[in-house]
Every structure is written in C-alpha cells, then in structure tokens.
Amino acid sequence: MATLHWEKTEGTCFCFDFRRRQEEGKCTKQTQTDLFGRTQVHTRMQFTFNLHFLPIISSFVIFLLFFPVISAAQFEDFRRLNQTFRPGEESKKIRLIRTHLMKINKPAVKTIQSPDGDILDCVMAHHQPAFDHPVLKGTKPLDPPERPYGYHHAGMESENYQLWSLSGESCPEGTIPIRRTTEQDILRANSIKRFGRKIVKPVRRDSSSGGHEHAVGYVSGDQYYGAKASINVWDPKVTDRFEFSLSQMWVISGSFGDDLNTIEAGWQVSPELYGDNYPRFFTYWTTDAYQATGCYNLLCSGFVQTNNKIAIGAAISPTSSYNGGQFDISLLIWKDPKHGNWWLEFGSGVLVGYWPASLFTHLRDHASMVQFGGEVVNSQASGSHTSTEMGSGHFSGEGFGKASYFRNMQVVDWDNSLIPLSNLKVLADNPNCYDIRGGINNVWGNYIYYGGPGKNPRCP
C-alpha cells in the first residue's frame, strides 16, 4: 500500500496517494478499544484511481501544504510507521507494540494525571517490571540499608520537585508510581527492540564517539563503592528530536568494550524518549556496553523501585534560571555492604530503590571509575554542529548562576564512608562547543562547572 495521508472534513474523507497522485473512494469508521480500555477511531479507505478528481485533489494538496492540519511531529510519526515496515506488516507492528506495552505497563490500582500530560500508574511494588527478570522472579523489594558514614542531607528539603506531585495526588503505600508508556513513545524509537535503550556505542573518556560529546570530571585508579553530588537542573534547548542533553553520574566497571558495566542517574531532556522538552529524572544500567542489557528507568526488568513518592522518568520542577534562582538535586549511589546491591537516593534523603547485584558482572564487586558531567548527541542533521545545549547552554567560565555545576562531589570507599575526591581530572571532547573546569573550596568541596551552547563561531 502506498503511503497515505487523509483528512476528514464535515463527514467527507479525502485520501491521497502521493505516488499515484490521486485517489477517489469511500471511507468507513471503525471504533477500536485497546488493551488499556482506551477508545480509538480508525478510518478504513477503499479507493480507485480517477482522473476526474485531479484538479480537486491537486488544489487540496496545495491547501494542505500552506495550511497544514496536523503537526510536523504527528506527520513524522505517521511517516516513520509506514516507511519502517513493508506493506502488510503495519498490523503486525502494532500488535508487537501493544504486546510490549502489556509487558511494561503493569496493572494499576490508581492512576494520576500529571499537569505536564504524563499518566502515572500506581502499581503494586511486587508487580513492577523488575520482577519479570529471571533472577528476580519470586522475590520482593528489600528493606533499605544504612547510608554511608559521613552522610548528610543536601539540596532542597521540599519533596515537590516533580511536576506530577503538583496534582495533589499520591500513590498508596505498597505501590510505586510508574510513568505510563504509550504507542507514540515506542513509535518515536528506531525499533521496539531499541526502545528505552541508549544507542550502541563505545563509552570512552578520552574522545567523542558516535556523535556523543561529553564534558566530564572523573576519578579512576582505585576501588569505588558509590558516589554523591548535587547537580543544578536546567531546561537546555534540544534542537533535533533524535538528540538529547543530559547531566548525570556514571558508576563504571569493566573494560571499555563488550563487558562494560555502568550504573547511571541524573536529569535529561530527550524528545525521542519522552516526546517533550522537560528535564526529567532518569536512571540507566547496562552490563554489556549498551548492547543487549539494561535500559532507561523502568522500561525493562532490572531496577527495583521501593518508593511511592518518586516517579523515575517524570519531569523535574522547578529548574534553574540564568542569573537568577538555582535549583539543584542531590544524588547518592552506594553499594550496600551487606547484600551488595547498589542503592539510589534522589533529592533530600528519599530512597528510590536499587540495582540488584545479580544484574552485573564487574559491578558485583566494585567500580573502577566514577564520572560526573554532561553529555549531548550531535547528529549534525543540518550539516554543521548541533545547537543542542549542554547544561545551562553557557560555558563554564561564566560561573555560578549562569553555568551548570556539580558540587560536593564525593565517592564511597571500601569502608562505606563518603570521602572527598582525590586526583579529579576533567575532560571536554570538544571544548569549543562544551567545556568544563574544576575546583575545590570549603563550602562546595570538589566541584565542576561545565556546559555550552553547541554551535557558535568557534564551533561551526
């Protein structure tokens, strides 16, 4: 079947075949209810070639070119759906998508509508996606461990740092909030298999790779059992829907090859993953250098969430403003000495959950590197460097209130103690586009400023 674009006006359906240039026929409506009880109306088209309608069809096509009735994003999703699969495979694709949605969207005991358009499902904790994993089936969430020695609360004391919480609703005890995944979320991905996963690429600290550019501070050469820092949150401009901008901590072990293990957490703006440009709290993990294991958030089995107040993948609010108020979040990742699991704290003393030690190979023991900083995708879609911003979109030299920062950066040692960084190194893959500088003082301890605007006169 040729790629079609249709528009319904006052009960009349027009069908356009862009390769045969014109079609005439009738359209019938069909109402369909999906697996989650949502009703959708589909229009089926029966058409035959008819030259008499050429002037009418041509005029209508011209009208649509100048007065589009659908958004560019909607048309792009429609185009990708039809071009990705050969004729006859569309219905198979939709069936696969809905099967995948059934797998990751678990039955909810309560549903919450977020002001930003997200739908949050309150799912029983023992029904969450993590327990679909073969090594976790039949288990239940563990009780929280003790924090590392030297731990102190940092960051904003209020828990209202996610937009969905502004609705005034909350998930009951014994449940966790999970951002509902939609068909459109999956359609934006390259494939169902790759949905919720990072692009396969080698992770390196000495050069950019695969269009990914970094500005990071890192420590290596020792054994690390966790990391902690406070990060100010911004809403950087992302100029291509298949690019992202993020700020995060990486806890890393293994070689920078097929056996790389990482645990990651921070905030990101990713139009492809979320369908908008809100900065969102995210997590990630992999045990094979992003090839077949791991995913963002709760989009696969792995991370075990234990908190009913934090939604991983939900938008963060408020954000920092240039030359104005600064809002930062505190992140702590550490390895429980008793069970070996890697726990995550977000904000002011709120435990989110843990990555089970059984997921990993090298990280079952310890990490060999910790990184702090920013990353963007530079797709060069326009033939030049992207204008996607990192952090605040301003270079590190502008300092507090203008540049992005990590402050009070620490690592956890073998004795489960938080200690300052030693021998912090900084690296920017392309310092004319995004740069970084580090420092230390009595208030912030180890810190970095980082970021940049992307394309500029020194970064063509």
- Output the CA torsion 390→391→393→399 (10° steps): -130
- C-beta separation of 212 from 430 below 8 A: no
Q: What angle do CA 138, 139, 141 make, to 5 degrees?
A: 145
User: How much is the CA Rg of the chain, to the nearest whole Å?
Assistant: 24
Establish whether 375 is a catalytic residue.
yes
Beta strands in 314-444 (DSSP E): 328-335, 342-346, 350-355, 367-377, 404-412, 418-420, 425-428, 435-441
Phi-psi region of 416 (alpha: psi -120 to 50; beta: other; left: phi over 0): left
CB under 8 Å to 365, separation ≥6 — which residues?
A: 253
Length of the chain, in residues: 460
What distance in Å separates the CA atoms of residue 106 and residue 108, rounded to the nearest whole number? 6
Helix, strand, coil % (nearest 5) of the chain?
Answer: 15, 35, 50
| Active-site residue (options: 23, 213, 243, 264) | 264
Residue 422 token pair? 């030693």
Residue 287 token pair? 């045990």
Helix (H, G, I), strand (E, B) or coil at 106: coil
What distance in Å separates the CA atoms of residue 50 and residue 44, rounded to the nearest whole number? 19
Nearest Cα residue to 325 out of 400, 257, 256: 400
Beta partners for 122?
Answer: 110, 177
**Residue 86 carries which side chain, given as an amino acid letter?**
R
- Number of other residues whose CB lies within 10 A of the CB of residue 400: 13
- Output the CA torsion 274→279→285→289 (10° steps): 80
**Residue 254 carries which side chain, given as an amino acid letter?**
G
The b-or-e profile of 134-165 (16+ CB within 10 A means b, else e) is eebeeeebbeebebbeebeebbeeeeebbbbb
Helix (H, G, I), strand (E, B) or coil at 158: coil
| Active-site residue (options: 213, 243, 375, 389) | 375
What distance in Å separates the CA atoms of residue 197 and residue 260, rounded to the nearest whole number? 15
Active site members: 264, 375
